[in-house]
Structure 1
Amino acid sequence: MEIVLEIAPQKATHLKKRLAVLEQYFRDGSLLLSARDGEKPAQFILHSKDSFPWLAFFKKLRVFWWASSHQAIPYAFRLQKRVPEELLAELDLLSEPELLDALAALRANKYFPPLPKSPF
């Protein structure tokens, strides 16, 4: 099972709605995605200024954390230690910018592995 997300039409998706899986998240905020809709290109990159459905991603990610199904979780978000349930409940209530800040804080506190440098 994979975390398949609906990516909004934008320049990186050739102005088409895409279904994709997050493959890699990089230090500069760019994302490498693999399409799951049969369209080309099969892989595409979103930069930090592009639109990514972080709230939808987090809701699905949380289910995989709870189920301890690590194979479907992108490496950048595989837990290195368990996040307290109370904190997870609070994360559900955050706006997208607040959620991104909270995920960065969790990464800084070694809940996630360090992000690789972007090759792009």
Structure 2
Amino acid sequence: MSRTSAFSIDDPALDCPVSPEAVGRLAKADPRAVKELVDGIPESTRARLAVWLYGRSHTHEIGVRVAETCDGTSLRRAGGLIGNALYDLSRRPYTAPTHGTRATGPARISLGGTRRSA
């Protein structure tokens, strides 16, 4: 029987497969240096790290870059469907997420409600 660990709501860092210091080095590093930083980490741990990083908005891009160093099988084993999607994302040029941004000018907000014709 295979057992999967649940994510901790109290302390998400407990679910991280590497030390907080290693995550800090990855977060501060130039994106092109990620491959060198994860070079000594076993692939199964790198795959879990990629899924963990990808699941957080502030480390999303780093997760994709770590996933570039993993094969599809490892990512699928670590993250299931998310690992599969992460594998696909990591094999094409990275584009930053657009959620929370507007393509057009600022929105016009009215607190006055709608006008009714008499």
Q: What is the TM-score when the length of structure 2 is the normalising length?
A: 0.32
Identify the structure with the greater helix proportion: 2
Higher strand proportion: 1
Structure number with higher relative contact order (C-alpha < 8 Å, ≥ 6 residues apart): 1
TM-score by length of 1: 0.31
